[in-house]
Structure 1
Amino acid sequence: EALCLAAEARGDRAEAARILGAGAANLVGLLDIDRVVLGGRTVAADEDAYVRGVRAVIEERASRGGAGAGVTVTVARGGDRPVAEGAAQLVLAPVFGRVGEGE
């Protein structure tokens, strides 16, 4: 996070997205996930740049034989409390039979 924010502070958004992408790619490899959802004020400043940058790093790792093929990179939907809403969705999704739908 500190490296990403430092790059953003320098005005190097591409580098900030690359750093965030490296972290996301590590998690994809470790946890075998199929979706990366980005959020927060820094990402909200230029959602497209962050989605493209993170996706590029994940795809590049996948092309070298790493995990990540077919991973979707999106931005969290807006709202006043996206972290709390996301946590509530994760807890309640199984109750309502919506596991993995992200809705």
Structure 2
Amino acid sequence: MLSTFSYANILHAVGQVLDQIGVKSIAIHEEEDGLFVEGFNSDGQLQVQMHYDIASLYELVDRADNQTAEVASTQVTGVLSRFLSEHHRELVGASL
């Protein structure tokens, strides 16, 4: 469990949410108890407003970190599987 987060981790996690929503521009305001995020469409009209308190940010960043780790693990497994099949090898005690 992480006790502190970098701005990069926080912005990455918030950015993933905004990408899923499909916003075209953003405004992020740091508040005493978290972040207030606004997302706008291509016409500049407000599309979404979100307030993340500290607990919500922690959960969001933790979830994003877990998803990143899962994707990285899947990519490594895919690379390893491809390498083994191209070289006609297999892992001992494992089935791919």
TM-score for the superposition, normalised by structure 2: 0.28
Higher strand share: 2
Higher helix share: 1
TM-score for the superposition, normalised by structure 1: 0.26
Task: Tell which has more relative contact order, 1 or 2 (C-alpha 8 A, sep 6+).
Answer: 1
Answer with 1 or 2: which has the greater Rg: 2
